[in-house]
Amino acid sequence: MFDGRHNCIVVVGAQWGDEGKGKLVDVLAEQADMVVRYQGGANAGHTVVVGDRQFVLHQIPSGILHGGARCVVGNGVVLDPETFFAELAELATQGIEISGRLFVSDRAHVVLPYHKLLDQASEKQQQIGTTGRGIGPAYEDKIGRRGVRVTDLCRGTGAREFLEPRVERANAMLKLLGSPQAASLDEHVELFGRLGDKLRPLATDTGLLVHQALKSSQRVLMEGAQGALLDVDHGTYPFVTSSNTTAGGAAVGAGVGPTAINGVLGVVKAYTTRVGNGPLPTEAQGDLQKQLRDLGGEFGATTGRPRRCGWFDATVVRYSARVNGLTGLAVTKLDVLDTFAEIPVCTGYRLDGRECAEFPSDIEALDRVEPIYEVMAGWQKGTGSATKLSDLAPAARKYLDRLEELSGEPIKYVSVGTRRDQIIEV
């Protein structure tokens, strides 16, 4: 994707998240000078397998696994400082050196313990199926202009005065939501004291760093979290996360203008999964769902929840291509389909008896749509050792060709296993 004309590439999930973005970012980071996370927070779980070691990164860009890349946690992220430092400590035990190459935006908002209590309390009423990491309440506070930013955490003075009205408000909200729990002001003041000093050396105007990198023709990779169908504007609202997961969010969340971006890679699984509640038109039934889940190891990297599994949905990916402005696709986990004799692909929807070309905005309509399936022949042959397209069985190539045709976007990568080297560049 990177070449003389393309030096700022965004990698986004083009379904409901968990598409394997971590692996693609890891592969592209090899050619990047800088990797930027631009939205979401500890709700994400990016799994990268290097040799026989597996890394699950929640808030730190997957690019950290490449010594050459500088990594940025952008202003659009909601940072959970406690788990951020736990993640850093874990990387240190694995011998990953971050010194001088990890930066956190001083404008990023912070997730505090009261956000997690609020998330759990509102989840009892709304039942979105959130990760419980305090993401929604932290973004609510940001938009409500009462949030806490990294710069506040790092100030070093006046923590109690700053936090008191916020903790009080959170406790009033918890009461309103019927929660028996209350946040402790002392605990929050202690957290500020303990983590502010640790965060200060990493906190900076990261938008400026990204701008300078682009100005000097460095290669910048922007790493999205979750997927387009979880975008707060474009997803299956209200069953979404609370940030803009689509490529437009990359400019805002990294602190650069939209004209800086010159490539958008949409990552899709060769089938579809979602975790949490809300519509999933191509959800497989009974044993087939279990088979997909077991073969794909479809359990959440953050919460361990079983993922809901189904077939590739071209209506979703076409929509995703439009709202993200995709310039290419990466198809992951093709190997998971290796044993199926037949593989259904959803080419469109029927809604109330009529064909429906676009992805509906109405959640009730989405619950009613009937997927139109085309059944493709399986290849029933291992794909895990393929290093080029011609190594794949004809039926597997046909399957990929059909996904490309239905999605309207060129396939640039095909991933055929969890290892770093199990990837085909098209």
Q: Give catalytic residues, as residue numbers.
A: 18, 46
The answer to whether residues 209 and 72 touch, using CB atoms and an 8 Å cutoff, is yes
Site string for ligand IMP, 160-199 (x = CB under 6 A): ----------------------------------------
Least separation in angstroms between residue 133's CB and ligand IMP is 5
Compute the least distance from the CB of residue 12 to ligand IMP, in Å.
Answer: 12
Question: Residue 194 corresponds to which amino acid?
Answer: R
Query: What's the sign of the alpha-carbon dihedral 211, 265, 17, 388?
Result: negative
Region from 40-48, 201-209, 211-219, 368-376 binding ligand IMP, contact rule CB under 6 A: 40-48
Kindly state the smallest distance separating residue 237's Cβ from ligand IMP, in Å.
Answer: 11
Is residue 350 classed as helix, strand or coil in its secondary structure?
A: strand
Q: What are phi and psi of 170, to 5 degrees?
A: -60, -40
Q: For ligand IMP, what does the binding mask look like between residues 208 and 237, x meaning CB under 6 A?
A: -----------------xx---x-------
- With beta carbons less than 8 A apart as the criterion, state whether 130 and 44 touch: no
Q: Which is nearer to ligand IMP, 128 or 423 (CB)?
A: 128
Residue (85 or 299) nearer to ligand IMP, CB: 299
The region of 26-34, 42-50, 173-181, 208-216 touching ligand IMP under the rule CB under 6 A is 42-50
Nearest-angstrom CA–CA distance, 346 and 336: 18
Q: Is 17 in the site for ligand IMP (CB under 6 A)?
A: yes
E strand or H helix at 116, and its extent? Answer: helix 113-126
CB atoms within 10 A of CB 40: 29
Specify the length of the chain in residues: 426
Output the residue with the shortest Cβ distance to ligand IMP: 276
Minimum CB separation of residue 273 from ligand IMP in Å reads 8
Per CB under 6 A, contacts with ligand IMP among 257-286 are 275-276
Concatenated DSSP letters of 206-258: HHHHHHHHHHTT--EEEE--S-GGG-TTTSSTTSS-SS--STHHHHHHHTS-G
DSSP count for the chain of H helices, then E strands? 13, 20
Q: State both tokens at 248.
A: 């437009």
Closer by beta carbon to ligand IMP, 241 or else 244: 241
Q: Which residues within the stretch 114-153 sit at the binding site for ligand IMP (CB under 6 A)?
A: 128-131, 133, 135-136
Cβ burial 136-166 (10 Å sphere, 16+ → b, else e)? bbbbbbbeeeebbbbbbbbeeeebeebbeeb
Q: Does 18 bind ligand IMP (CB under 6 A)?
A: yes
407-416: buried (b, 16+ CB within 10 Å) or exposed (e) per residue? Answer: bebebbbbbb
- The stretch near ligand IMP (CB under 6 A) out of 43-51, 65-73, 319-327, 382-390 is 43-51
Q: In the set 45, 147, 255, 417, which binds ligand IMP (CB under 6 A)?
A: 45
Q: Which is nearer to ligand IMP, 45 or 417 (CB)?
A: 45
Count of CB atoms situated within 10 Å of the CB of 3: 10
Nearer to ligand IMP, 128 or 163 (CB): 128
Q: Which is nearer to ligand IMP, 17 or 371 (CB)?
A: 17
Q: CA–CA separation, 386 vs 118, rounded Å?
A: 47
Q: Which of 39, 43, 315, 347 binds ligand IMP (CB under 6 A)?
A: 43
Q: Is the peptide bond before 180 cis (omega within 30 degrees of 0)?
A: no
Distance CA 346, CA 181 (A): 45
Closer residue to ligand IMP (CB): 241 or 324 = 241
Instruction: Verify binding: residue 47, ligand IMP, rule CB under 6 A.
Output: no
As a whole number of angstroms, the distance between CA 169 and CA 72 comes to 31
**Which range, of 38-46, 141-149, 204-212, 280-288, touches ligand IMP by CB under 6 A?**
38-46
Tokens found for residue 343: 């593989």
Which span sits near ligand IMP by CB under 6 A: 161-169, 238-246, 355-363, 382-390? Answer: 238-246
Number of amino acids touching ligand IMP (CB under 6 A): 20
Binding site residues, ligand IMP, CB under 6 A: 17-18, 43-45, 128-131, 133, 135-136, 225-226, 230, 239, 241-242, 275-276
